[in-house]
Structure 1
Amino acid sequence: MATVIVHATITLDGFLADPDGGVDWMFGRPSAPEDDAVVERVMARIGAVVGGANRSQTIEDGELPYGGMLKVPVYLMTHRPHDPIERDDTTYTFVVDDIAEAVALASAAAGDRWVSLLGGSISRQCLRLGLVDELHLDVAPVLLGEGISLFAGLGQRIELERLETSAYASETHLRYRVLR
């Protein structure tokens, strides 16, 4: 059975991106092999991805989950039907307005691997519906002061159990189980 995870790199003040959606703060930081190993371990376990479709329902280079490095099924939330898109050995399936269906499809595709939820809105919706098993957060040592938040607007309390923490040159890595 698949494990559904929120996997995100965030700033210390909890932002996924700056107010315009930029993520340049993620790059050019000092790194240690241990940081890379944490991320590689997570990526090796991912069997499917759920995210949001762009407005034009196309797949642009800058929007590929994990930079296109993962060749796993991707399920994209949308408000109108669209045929699946095949690109670089990855199938992008569009799911209309039913996040639970998208997670169920991704879970079936992932088998005993992980389903990675990408984006604040997707993550919050799944947390509210009780669909998330774990949070995997890579926290960068930067404060943006404002931006696109991972958890703002969640609107409910969710208890977590710490499973793992580590810190190296560029990030602090946090892994929590969602308690039900």
Structure 2
Amino acid sequence: MGQVIVHATMTVDGFIADIGGEVDWMFGRPSAPEDDAVVANVIERIGAVVGGANKTQTIDDGEIPYGGMLNVPVYLMTHSPHDPIERDGITYTFIVDDIAEAVELAKLAAGEKWVSLLGGSISRQCLQLDLVDEIHLDVAPVLLGEGIPLFAGLEKRVELERLETSAFASETHLRYRVVHPT
């Protein structure tokens, strides 16, 4: 089975969105083909996504994982049951309160490909449960000062082994293996 990864673009001060949830700071920066190649390499290896459902359990345009660049199953965490939604050839399955189940279903769907975890809360919950194999961060050269953090609130220490580091025109790309306790 494939790996479970946290894949996120974040600011140097650790935020994945501004205080209102907007991510416009991610766009409009100069980039190099090498930046695009790093992200494309990750995207082509993703076979399923686990994220959080919005309060209305709908799939709005701005909430489509990876801006619609992926055509893979998406598992959304929620607190109340909801039938799956099909949109643009992608099936969104809602999982009630059991993140381990969501990850297991996503791994089965992904096969040998990766399961990408989206969002700070989802990532922290999976790290807490030792469900994460790797962390892939694309760090944008901006400080927001406040916003939605990726790792703040994680309630345990997680050791990482650096696998890869690269920096080009627009971002620094970091890849770590999660060192699981023995």
TM over 0.5: yes
Measured in 1, the distance between the counterparts of 2:22 and 2:73 equals 25
Gaps of 5+ in 2: none
State the Cα distance separating 1:129 from its structure 2 match. Answer: 0.2
Partner of 2:23: 23
Matched, 1:38 2:54: no
Measured in 2, the distance between the counterparts of 1:61 and 1:51 equals 15
Partner of 2:109: 109
- Measured against aligned partners, the alpha-carbon deviations of 1:32-80 in whole angstroms (never above 9, x if no partner) come to 0000000000000000000000111011111000011100000000000
Partner of 1:58: 58
Measured in 2, the distance between the counterparts of 1:170 and 1:18 equals 19
Partner of 2:4: 4
Gaps of 5+ in 1: none
TM-score by length of 2: 0.98
Amino acid at match of 1:35: D
RMSD of aligned residue pairs (Cα, Å)? 0.4
Measured in 2, the distance between the counterparts of 1:125 and 1:109 equals 20
Amino acid at match of 2:135: L
State the Cα distance separating 1:137 from its structure 2 match. Answer: 0.2
Between Structure 1 and Structure 2, how many residues are aligned? 180
Measured in 2, the distance between the counterparts of 1:159 and 1:77 equals 26
Measured in 1, the distance between the counterparts of 2:6 and 2:109 equals 17
Partner of 1:81: 81
